[in-house]
Structure 1
Amino acid sequence: MNLALRSVDVVVPCHNEAEALPRLHRRLAAALDGRAWRLIAVDDGSTDGTDRVIRDLAARDTRVLGIQLSRNFGHQAALSAGLAEVRADGAVLMDADGQDPPEVIPQMFELWEQGFQVVYGVRARRKASPILDVCYRVYYHLLRRISDVKPPLHSGDFCLLDAAVIRALRAYPERKKYWRGLRTLAGFRQIGLPYDRPARREGTTKYGPLRLVALAADGVFNMSFFPLRLIAFLGAAMALGSFVLALAVLGWYFSDLAIFGMRPRQVGGWTSLVVLSVFLSGVQFLSLGLIGEYIARMYLETKQRPEYHIASRTDQAAAASPTDARAPTS
């Protein structure tokens, strides 16, 4: 299909983005001028009037579809709700804060036309605090090392997905999704597109330290069994170390050599016994905690709870008030 004839749905999760959304809409309209596109704005339980902004946009622009979730389900669930509404030849996933530049999307289209089915943004430079930037870099390198698949470095949710990829992603049944990891897991022809990620201009970030840690944990536990393998490795290492220590203690006991002026029969052993017991108890509790994280996720999956609930939908017809409604022309 010719590039100019391809349609695209832009999926934008919104949580308290009333200030940023109108500007994003204007930038999208400018960047995608002359192309068939639609904005799917998913209101993820906002409390700042984001739902009213979406209704206003939908009333003025037939290309806007608003999805209001019944409460705040989280960024990844909002992406799921948006992807479920995609009907176009492809979809762009991006944030509402403007840090994912709409002006990059035409470059994604060009790579799409070349046959790539996934075009993901790579953050060449980002405006973030030095400490946070270091944390991001360490996390992405660590995730790539321990993951069963190899997600690209410095790549978030900003991407273009072909319809074939979207159909494949919809087949994943898990409720606790980590979309950027599943995108890599799905395969297909993928390519990265470097871009500069500017600082947020409107509003405040919704990803505080705790949410960032939770998202990082989703990446580790959803995409890797490394923590479980680490437990097995540590267990084997401790067993080997204990065996070597036991041989050394037995050798010292039977040789009755004096070490630092002390002989084995003069050592009571209570202190070392307590220290060793406490250490092993700590390792056991840590191991149980890691195993419990996987069990909790399996429990969540077996319940098959809905990932989200839609409270209402807003397009131009729904956005218009009764007094604004016009009778159809014959």
Structure 2
Amino acid sequence: MEISIVSPVFRAETIIDNLVERIVSSVTKLTDSYEIILVEDCGPDNSWKKIQENCKKYTQVQGIKLSRNYGQQHAIQAGLDASTGKYVITMDCDLQDQPEEIEKLLSKSKEGYEIVVASRKNRKDDIFKKLLSRVFYSTLGYLTETKQDRTVANFVCYQRKVVIAMAEVKDHNRYYPMLQQLVGFNYAKVEIEHAEREDGSSSYSFGKRLRLAMDTILTFSDKPLRLTVKFGILLSFLSICAALTMVVLYIFSDVKVEGWASLALLISFFSGIIISVLGMVGLYVGRTFESVKQRPTYIIHETIK
């Protein structure tokens, strides 16, 4: 198989027919050896029925229905695991990622880049979503100590070796921009036009974005724990400075230092020590916890070809 196209599907009943038609039209110009894998993430509409109809219409289309709503990243993983192509392209189903741009990514990958991501210019999103995106990527970049590009998303071309390498990473969180940096390989960007959403609104609510950010930070970074340790040390240092100040005032001035002040200093000092120790222990517990979890990232309810 030359090319696999993987698209996670959620609440896209009205889009699927157009999505498949445009992918078929674009990819058949490049090769006859391709497959389209649509992963239905247990949405509330009739997306699975539409996928079944397209599987009957096109021999290249196959559908995967997950047992429950696992989220977009896990749906992508299910599609990657099912793919067989030498080149695997992931893209959203809302047609803001345009199938006609697949050729650009594939052409760049054939130049020797194992990972080629689409950089969206002139993003067709509302102001709130753009602001939310800026905050998300800035925070994520700071706490994971990585460079994050808010112009890239899930429209990516992977060579087979990258798909295999990412599958070997057993972290439950599957945030692909971070996984791409983790596995390495030659990386390139291709500018594409970002289209208007075909229909409906994004299923990524503020709450979902917040959970994704928290999961990603806790999976790929221990910086929050290190910041906790530093905060504890700072509290202890400030307590010592305050204690020394009170001792000096007591000896060299007429200022009367009440007993409650000493008690407050002791509580503050030991609180800082406790926070530091807990943070340090948390570093090790967090790493151990991540390594021993053996939960599946997704469960398949049904497949169709």
What corresponds to 2:78 in structure 1?
81
TM-score (norm 2): 0.88
Could you tell me which runs of 5 or more consecutive residues in structure 1 were left unpaired when the two chains were aligned. 1-5, 258-262, 316-330
Bigger shift: residues 114-123 or 142-151 = 142-151
Contact 1:148 1:223 in 2 (8 A): no
SS at match of 1:194: strand
CA distance in 2 between partners of 1:287 and 1:211 (Å) = 32
What corresponds to 1:39 in structure 2?
36
- One-letter code aligned to 1:40: I
CA distance in 1 between partners of 2:161 and 2:144 (Å) = 24
Number of residue-to-residue matches in the alignment: 303
> CA offsets, 1:259-295, max 9 Å, x none?
xxxx224x5646x966996999799789979987995
Of 95, 106, 111, the residue aligned with 2:108 is 111
CA distance in 2 between partners of 1:129 and 1:275 (Å) = 50
Contact 2:225 2:283 in 1 (8 A): no
1:286–1:178 CA distance, 2 compared to 1 (3 A): farther
Q: Does 1:15 align with 2:18?
A: no
Of 297, 312, 321, the residue aligned with 2:302 is 312
What corresponds to 2:256 in structure 1?
264
CA distance in 2 between partners of 1:149 and 1:131 (Å) = 24
Q: Percent identity?
A: 27
For 1:91-110, what aligned pairs fall within 5 Å after superposition? 91-110=88-107
CA distance in 2 between partners of 1:294 and 1:197 (Å) = 43
What corresponds to 2:23 in structure 1?
28
TM-score (norm 1): 0.82
1:205–1:280 CA distance, 2 compared to 1 (3 A): farther
What corresponds to 1:177 in structure 2?
174
RMSD of aligned alpha carbons? 3.0
SS at match of 1:193: strand
CA distance in 2 between partners of 1:294 and 1:101 (Å) = 44
Q: Does 1:142 align with 2:139?
A: yes
Q: Does 1:53 align with 2:50?
A: yes
Q: Over alpha carbons, which structure has the higher Rg?
A: 1
CA distance in 1 between partners of 2:273 and 2:23 (Å) = 52
- One-letter code aligned to 2:22: R
Cα shift at 1:159: 0.5
